[in-house]
Structure 1
Amino acid sequence: KINGDLHLKELLKGSGISFAFKIVGMGFGYIFTILLTRNYGAKVMGIYALSLVVLQVGTIIGRLGMDTAVLRFVAEYNSQNKKDMVNEIYKKIIKLVIPISLAISIGIFFLSPYISHYFFHKDYLSNYFRIIAIGIVPYVLFIINSESLRGLKKIKEYAFLQNMGISFVASILLGLSLFIVKNNYIPVTIYTISMFLMSLLSFFLWFKKFNFNSNTNISKPQTLSSNLNNPNLSFGNKPYLISYKNILSISTPMLISGSLGVFLGFIDITILGIFKTSSAVGIYSVAIKLSSIVVLSLATINVIAAPKFAEFWAKGDKEGLLNIARQSTKIIFWTSLPIFIILVIFSTYILQLFGSGFKTGFIALIMLTFGQFINGISGSVGYILQMTGFQIFAQNIMMASVIINIILNILLIPKYSINGAAFASMITLIFWNLTMGMKVKNILGGYVFSFSKKIYKKQKI
């Protein structure tokens, strides 16, 4: 029962807060998309989507996998009241990502004419890529700060930043801009400005919420362990000596697996941009945005579940970890099912909200929705692997998924356009989740997706 399981109560409370912000944030995101498509058309929507691809590639490299690493270690050491460790890890991660992301930003800015000409075969994309490149550094810092707050269990602050902040500001600015000026550069420019503003707010919230007032001292220099099975550290009066090498040894596998996961999200858009028109990209990107509603509950539950996975694993409590994972998966299933049914039945009508030309994407939307439904009901398998020290396995699965996705997209997009891209994404999502789910079963001794009524021993927070 919920009353007897404090971890489930915390999961529901945290997920409820995140869900509320996610709903509002998605609402503003759809307002932004509708304003864009209704006033600028499918072509500009496609340009905007391709610009976001460039942004994502830049930020993936720029953050060096530090977003997942900072979440994992802030959650672990904050739960042990090791504020010194949290503070030092945070500062060193910031010092690592700033020069790298700045170099990436400058590189993309000056190489944008070559990227647009030789890669996408669309010279007019160059200036859009330059605008979005300016936002890479603030966006990387925004992500690091957001995940740091998440590790502290500051769920309201994290949920606002990650789920709502940028879309909220961008939709308001885009709406206001329509009364002043209408230019094809406006949507990308507004999104870049929104990233700057939210980055500043993320720093303010981090320094406000992280109180470095721990009375805990440290006995001798420590290094990060890549395995959370042995979290015991001794204490004394010397500061932690955490080398950049130690941090990178943990973050690099997370960079690879995390970046591969993000790459999977825009491989199809990128290959569509190479072979097809910007209008096709625009229609497909709207279908992707709509299908993501199915995994709304997965995204919101992961906000609180991911740091809890790290806590359970640090304590050696596999039983408790499996229990909370199963509870969260049941919630995801029952909340995703009605959304899945609605999107499949009313796909054409929903797409027409963005313009009459968008209804041609209904088959793609149905396939994408099915793939996301499988993704949702498989549970938080990716986070479980990363929070329990099996990031190398996750990396290998993601690499195989990327290869499968690229091959399918290259084979199918030239002939089947957006429907080929959607089919490739659906197959990849199913492969990725089933293989990770099997590995999690081997680690924890049971499947995450289970309707078994067995209740494990009650946990105390």
Structure 2
Amino acid sequence: MIGVATLFGLSTLMTRNIDEVYVGSYEFARVVLLTIATFGILGTEQSILYFAGRLEAKNQTNELRLVYFKMLKIIWICSVTVLVVSLIIPESFLISVGIKENLLNVLKKCLLILPFYSTTILNTETIRAYNKVILSEWFRNIFKYIPIITGTVLIIFEVVKVGTLLDWYLYGFILLAVISFLVLLILMNKNSKEHISAITSKEIFKVSYPMAISSFYTYLLMTIDIFLLAQFFNLHYTAYYAIAMKIMSILSMVIVGVNINYAPKIAVNYENKDFELLNRNLKEAAKTIAFLNFVIGLILLLGGKFFLSFFGENYTEALPAYNILIVTQMIVSLFGMVPMYMNMTGKQQIFHKIMGFAVLVNIICNVVLIPKFNMVGAAISYAVTVLFWNILVTYFSFKTDKVYLTLWK
């Protein structure tokens, strides 16, 4: 709840005091960074939980430290490689394929900060892997917003220029990467023993990269509509729709929160072939997600106009799209631990193929619907896509493992 309050406190502070163009740039950068980070993080933020569960099942948790450092080396190599490749590509080429110059400047800043952002995300989930769930949640939902909250307040009081808003968000990850790394060193020193890890960098890469592809597709689904709204219309609509998505993300945060906390258990159950306990944990997770999301979802639906107007009167233009997004996420909550189950049970290859097909469906829907229906078109495209891949994964999981991911049997 503190994380939700922080997120929406920041959004309210920004939308009520800062021009929509700057808010739109920040929202655009946020979703773009999520997407390009998949090439830097390479799925390690999920695979660290997979390996933690696997090592726990074998009573080899001391190896987690070495696994982390191998992952850290991988993400820095990948992040720097992405940055170097981006510097080689001529700006004129990117502009020629349709990327606006102002959006290109935002993209360049995101690429520069990628190594530190990737490190922060990996560190946050590694802290969780060491069973420091609350501390991990503080990093994931609260600490990462402190730099931009600071910047927003300084802008409001005219201490710094409004054009620095994006910099406060991006460069804050340098500080977060350092602090989270120091926290991990303390945790590792408490659990340190001399040993040699049997898990190689090659194995880490083999497990992680399909997760990275799936994550990339997932973030693309969150980015394509934002990008096309900015391309077909302007950053004002990007800001309006992004706020609707952000309110909907309360429901997504419930799903992600439950998924992440059950992930190590699912990995242990599957590794031990304890399918009875596996089904029990999956059912428990599904009930928790469905109950919380239906209660919260009804509140968000009934108070939709009020919640949007809270960010500014113009933001109510997103109400029709907002309603579609909330209802969709309530339905999705009935599918339980769909993505996490695939990643925790060695089905990463299958999952990323399903997600790749879902992205293709999403692109077609967005290209057809956004020019005609603006934000509503984006919301419909999201609904069609997310329901499509959830249904497909649920069916596949039952056919292969006879497990019930949904609330019902």
TM-score grouping bracket, smaller chain normalisation: over 0.9
Equivalent residue in structure 2 for 1:129, among 107, 113, 125: 107
From 345, 349, 357, the equivalent of 2:314 is 357
* TM-score using structure 2 length: 0.93
Aligned to 1:52, which of 7, 30, 46?
Answer: 30
Residue matched to 1:434: 391
* 2-structure distance, mates of 1:99, 1:295: 31
Q: After TM superposition, give the deviation of residue 109 of structure 1 in Å.
A: 6.1
Q: Which residue of 2 aligns with 1:190?
A: 168
Instruction: Report how far residue 193 of structure 1 moved.
Output: 2.7
Question: Is the contact made by 1:139 and 1:199 (CA closer than 8 Å) also made in structure 2?
Answer: yes
The 1:28–1:118 alpha-carbon spacing in structure 2 relative to 1, beyond 3 Å, is farther
Give TM-score scaled by structure 1 length.
0.83
The 1:128–1:213 alpha-carbon spacing in structure 2 relative to 1, beyond 3 Å, is: closer
Q: Secondary structure in 2 aligned to 1:135?
A: helix
Describe the shift of the 1:51–1:143 C-alpha distance in structure 2 as closer, same or farther (beyond 3 A).
same
How big is each residue's C-alpha offset from its partner over 1:190-242, in whole Å with a ceiling of 9 and x where there is no partner?
1013212211121012111124756686xxxxxxxxxxxxxxxxxxxxx3354
Question: Whose helix proportion is higher, 1 or 2?
Answer: 2
Query: Does 2:202 match 1:248?
Result: no
> Which of 295, 307, 310 in structure 1 is aligned with 2:264?
307
Q: How much has 1:380 moved relative to structure 2?
A: 0.8
| Worse-matched range after superposition: 433-442 or 180-189 | 180-189
Q: Which residue of 256, 268, 274 maps to 1:317?
A: 274
Deviation at 1:73, TM superposition (A): 0.7
Q: Counterparts in 2 of 1:36-435, with a 5 A limit?
A: 36-108=14-86, 113-114=91-92, 117-119=95-97, 121-181=99-159, 183-211=161-189, 213=191, 239-240=196-197, 242-435=199-392
Q: Is the 8 A contact 1:116 1:124 kept in 2?
A: no
Residues 264 and 402 of structure 1 are in contact (CA less than 8 Å); yes or no, is this contact kept in structure 2? yes
Show the counterpart of 2:9. 31
Percent identity between the two aligned chains: 25
Residues of 2 paired with 1:205 and 1:447: CA distance? 38
Deviation at 1:121, TM superposition (A): 4.3
* Cα deviation, residue 107, structure 1: 4.5
The 1:100–1:305 alpha-carbon spacing in structure 2 relative to 1, beyond 3 Å, is same
Partner-residue secondary structure (3-state), 2:374: helix
TM-aligned CA distance change 1:445 to 1:59, over 3 Å: same
How far, CA to CA, are the matches of 1:111 and 1:355 in structure 2? 39
| Partner SS for 1:196 | helix
The amino acid of 1:349's aligned partner reads F
**What is the letter of the counterpart of residue 379 of structure 2?**
A
Answer whether contact 2:335 2:407 (CA < 8 A) is retained. Answer: no
Native 8 Å contact 1:58 1:105 kept in 2: no
Structure 1's 448 and 128: CA in aligned 2 closer, same or farther, altered over 3 A? closer
**Unpaired stretches in structure 2, ≥5 consecutive residues:** none
Kept after mapping to 2: 8 A contact 1:408/1:424: yes
State which drifts further: 27-36 or 387-396.
Answer: 27-36
Residue 67 of structure 2 contacts residue 197 of structure 2 at CA under 8 Å; is this kept in 1?
no
Give the 3 Å change call, closer, same or farther, for CA 125–77 of structure 1 in structure 2.
same
CA RMSD of aligned residues (A): 2.3
Asked which structure has the greater CA Rg, the reply is 1
Contact 1:116 1:125 in 2 (8 A): no
Residue 111 of structure 1, CA deviation: 5.5
How far did 1:338 drift? 2.1
The aligned amino acid for 1:395 is H
Number of matched pairs: 409
Q: Is 2:267–2:345's contact at 8 Å kept on the other side of the alignment? A: yes
The alpha carbon displacement at 1:392 in A equals: 1.6
Change (3 A) 1:376 1:334: same
Task: Identify if the C-alpha distance between structure 1 residues 343 and 213 changes in structure 2 by more than 3 Å, giving closer, same or farther.
Answer: closer
**Cα deviation, residue 89, structure 1:** 1.6
Give the residue type in structure 1 aligned to 2:3: G
Equivalent-residue separation in structure 2 for 1:116 and 1:187 (angstroms):
24
Contact persistence 2:151–2:165 (CA under 8 A): no
Residue 26 (structure 1) shift: 2.1
- Unaligned runs of at least 5 residues, structure 1: 1-22, 218-238, 453-461
Look up the equivalent residue of 1:266 and give its one-letter code.
T
How far, CA to CA, are the matches of 2:95 and 2:166 in structure 1?
Answer: 19
3-state secondary structure, aligned to 1:210:
helix
Amino acid at match of 2:363: I
